Amino acid sequence: MSSKPAAIPLFADAYLADTTHLSTEEHGAYLLLLMAAWRQDDCTLPLDDKKLARITGLSLRKWLIIKPTILEFWTVDSGRISQKRLQKEATYVRKKSETNRKNIEARWGAQRTENIEGDPYDRTFDGNTPPPPPPPTSESNDSDAPLPPAESDPENPPVVSADDGVKVVVDDAPPPPPSPPAPVDPPAFDPAKLIFDKAMPKLVEAGLDQRKAGAIIGKWRKQHSDGRIIDAIAEWIDLKRPPDNPVAWMQQKLTHGRYDDARKFNRDEPTNALARAAAERQAARGDP
């Protein structure tokens, strides 16, 4: 059993962008594997078809049919499978939990030390907490017992003499300022979401249904880098006259960098506003 929180981080937009081509059954199997891996300390699962079929609730025959599609999202290493994004989220959660634990220990540890140090009948009080009664002595009787303190006036605190056996010091220091809020990380730049958001409407407008369009975009991402796809989509959007066959146009652009024109495709220098915006956001985050 993992020491991580039971809740698994799931970013719906990124997940749907990467899994549009999956069937309902494949969605269920993939999510069950993610949740099972999250419960492990190392976020990995054994590459064992019988165990993986049992986790997904499928028969071994059915698991072997969908296995190639599901394992496209996983990395195989030393007989175990791991999911890159799941590993990243697990590392973030562990660091966040450790930071919170240290902050709590630092805050309450200092207060606990202040409370246990010194003589229990010679402490500094904040004026709201009554001091403890003096220790009983063998010579004390009911007539010597101190009377309960009357309600005090905040502007004229009562004066307690040394004969009462209690030393009271009123702390007039202002309370410490509240801790500044923790910094919030900027939203992550997701090239997959950008590709799907821009290419999907164009393909649907060209007459393809969403399922087929999603499969085509997924195929592009397997064969080409996200930067190359973003640049090609941007050129597509900038065209004054849309191509008659947008799928063939994109495939030609991604493969050869041109489509019936002499313009040279440069994957390292974006040539339009969409690609430049994506590159600027990525540079601002410090990503390679």
Query: Is the pLDDT higher at 93 or at 110?
Result: 93
Q: Looking at the predicted structure, is the pLDDT value of residue 267 above 80?
A: no
The predicted-structure confidence for 132-184, as pLDDT tens digits, reads as follows 666 666 554 555 555 555 555 555 555 555 455 555 555 566 777 887 777 76
The predicted-structure confidence for 183-229, as pLDDT tens digits, reads as follows 766 666 688 888 888 888 888 888 888 888 889 888 888 888 888 88
Query: Is 270:236 a contact under the CB 8 Å cutoff?
Result: no
What is the spatial distance between Cα 39 and Cα 55, in angstroms, rounded to a whole number? 12
Please, which pLDDT band fits residue 259 given cuts at 50, 70 and 90? Answer: very low
The predicted model gives 246-262 an average pLDDT of 71
Let me know if 208 is exposed, middle or buried by CB neighbors in 10 A (0-12, 13-18, 19+): middle
Kindly state the percentage of the chain with pLDDT values over 70: 62
Please, which pLDDT band fits residue 234 given cuts at 50, 70 and 90? Answer: confident
Which token pair is 284? 């601002």
pLDDT of res. 125: 46
State the maximum Cα–Cα separation within the chain, in Å, rounded to a whole number. Answer: 110
- Count other Cβ atoms within 10 Å, centred on residue 112: 11
The predicted model gives 8-15 an average pLDDT of 82
Lowest model confidence (mean pLDDT) among 59-63, 245-249, 255-259, 284-288: 284-288
Rg (CA), the chain: 33
Please, which pLDDT band fits residue 66 given cuts at 50, 70 and 90? Answer: very high
What is the spatial distance between Cα 2 and Cα 24, in angstroms, rounded to a whole number? 28
Contacts of 33 (CB under 8 A, 6+ apart): 45, 52, 55, 56, 70, 74
pLDDT of res. 144: 55
pLDDT of res. 152: 55
pLDDT of res. 260: 42
Domain boundaries, the chain: 1-121, 191-284
Q: Looking at the predicted structure, is the pLDDT value of residue 271 above 50?
A: no
pTM of the entire predicted model: 0.36
pLDDT of res. 54: 95
pLDDT of res. 2: 56
Instruction: Pinpoint the alpha helices (H) of the chain.
Output: 12-18, 24-38, 49-56, 60-70, 84-116, 191-205, 210-223, 226-238, 246-256, 273-284
- 150-170 burial, b at 16+ Cβ within 10 Å, e below that, comes to eeeeeeeeeeeeeeeebebee
pLDDT of res. 130: 59
Whole-angstrom CA distances from 195 to 5, 202, 226, 231 are: 32, 11, 8, 10
What is the spatial distance between Cα 192 and Cα 285, in angstroms, rounded to a whole number? 16
Q: Looking at the predicted structure, is the pLDDT value of residue 261 above 50?
A: no
Lowest model confidence (mean pLDDT) among 3-7, 189-193, 272-276: 272-276
User: Which residues on adjacent β-strands are paired with residue 10?
Assistant: none
What is the spatial distance between Cα 98 and Cα 59, in angstroms, rounded to a whole number? 40
pLDDT of res. 270: 43
Q: Looking at the predicted structure, is the pLDDT value of residue 266 above 50?
A: no
The predicted-structure confidence for 26-56, as pLDDT tens digits, reads as follows 999 999 999 998 888 888 999 999 999 999 9
